[in-house]
Amino acid sequence: MNKAAKPEMPRQVGHYQILERVYETRWEDLYHATDNRTGKRVSLKMIATTLPSREQERLFTNERDALKSLQHPNIVRFLDAGGEAGHFHIAVEPLDGTSLRTLIEQKRDLPLKQKLEIIAQVADALDCAHKAGMLHRTLMPREIVLTDGGQVKLHGFHLCRVLDPAPGQSAPTQYFIAKLRYPAPEQVKGEKADHRADVFSLGAVLYEFLCYMPPFGEPNIATVLVKIVAAKPESLASYVPNPPPQLVAIVDKALAKNREDRYQSAADMSKELRALAQSL
C-alpha cells in the first residue's frame, strides 16, 4: 500500500507564520513558527486533520488544558491555543534542540552520567503531572526534547488523562493503541492504570536510550504486547558493556511487571538516577 502524500506545509496559521516542519505523526504536526504579533519564535503543534473532528477536538483540549495547568521547568511552557476542527493549534515555547528519538536513532554517544540526568529530568516532569492528578500515558522518546541549553522538555500530553476521570474523559482507545510500544502491562491488559504506568514507560525509554533498542522491540505490535506482559527484555549487558549494577537494578525495578514492585513514584526513580549519576 502506498503511503499518502505528505500534506503541504501551511504558510500561516492564525497569527503565526510557519517557518519549518519539525515532524508529523498521525496525531499532530510540530512546526517552528513566528508570532506575527510579537516577532518571537514559538513551536506550534497542530492536531492532525486526518482524524475525525470530534477526536481532533478531544486531543486538542487534552493537551491545551494539561499544558495550561502544569508549570515545571521540564514541561514545555504553554503560550497560546486556538482554532477549530481542521485548524486546532497550540503554541508553546520554542523547542530548539534534539528529541530523544533523534539521539537514539543517531546512536549519539553521550556520557552515561548525562543520560541519567536527562531521564531524571523527565521523571521530575512526570512527578509534577502526577501530583497534579494527571497520567501522561503515552511517554515516548519523540516527546522528550533536549534543548540547546541542555534542559529537558516534555510534551505530548494530547492523550493524557486525569488519574480519577469522570465518565467519558478517557482518551479514545483506537488512537492510544497505535502508540503501544511503551505501555505498562496493566495498560495492555486493559486494567485501570495509575502513575506507576508512567514509571514503567520511563523505564522502557531509559532502556532504549542506553541500548539503542526498545526493550520489547518486535516489528509486530501483537508480539510487543505479549512480551510487555510476559517476557523480560534482553539484559543491559547484551548492549551496554559492563553496566553498573545500580543501573541494572534501576532499569529492572522500573520495568517490573507488577506495579507494586516498581518505583512507587517518579520522584523515587529520579532520586536513584541522580544518586547513581553522582557516583560516576
Residue-wise pLDDT tens digits, 32-77: 999 999 999 999 988 877 777 787 888 888 888 888 999 999 999 9
How confident is the model over 83-97, as a mean pLDDT?
Answer: 85
Phi/psi of residue 162, nearest 5 degrees: -75, 150
Residue 176 is predicted with a pLDDT of: 53
In terms of phi and psi (left: phi > 0; alpha: psi -120 to 50; beta: otherwise), the region of 86 is left
Task: Kindly tell me if the per-residue pLDDT of 6 is higher than 80.
Answer: no
Task: Write out pLDDT tens, residues 219-229.
Answer: 777 788 889 99
Residue 158 is predicted with a pLDDT of: 72
Residue 162 is predicted with a pLDDT of: 57
Beta-bridged to residue 45, according to DSSP, are: 30, 90
Full-model pTM: 0.88
The H or E element containing residue 31 is: strand 28-35
Task: Write out pLDDT tens, residues 123-170.
Answer: 999 999 999 999 898 898 999 999 988 899 999 887 676 554 444 444
Task: Write out pLDDT tens, residues 242-272.
Answer: 999 999 999 999 999 999 999 999 999 999 9
Phi/psi of residue 228, nearest 5 degrees: -60, -40
CATH code for the part of the protein at 12-92: 3.30.200.20
In the chain, CATH 3.30.200.20 covers: 12-92
Rounded Cα gap, residues 157 and 213, in angstroms: 24
In the chain, CATH 1.10.510.10 covers: 97-279
23-32, 70-79, 90-99, range with the lowest pLDDT: 23-32
Task: Write out pLDDT tens, residues 97-120.
Answer: 999 999 999 998 899 999 999 999
Angle between helices 245-254 and 195-211 (to 10 degrees): 140
Per-residue confidence at 3, pLDDT binned at 50, 70, 90?
A: very low
Which of 1.10.287.130, 3.40.50.300, 1.10.510.10, 2.30.33.40 is the CATH number of 97-279?
Answer: 1.10.510.10
Residue 183 is predicted with a pLDDT of: 87
Selected residue with higher pLDDT from 162 and 208: 208
Residue 37 is predicted with a pLDDT of: 94
Residue 169 is predicted with a pLDDT of: 46
Task: Write out pLDDT tens, residues 159-202.
Answer: 676 554 444 444 444 445 545 578 899 988 888 889 999 999 99
Residue 236 is predicted with a pLDDT of: 95
Q: How many CB atoms lie within 10 A of CB 50?
A: 11
How high does pLDDT run on average in the chain? Answer: 87
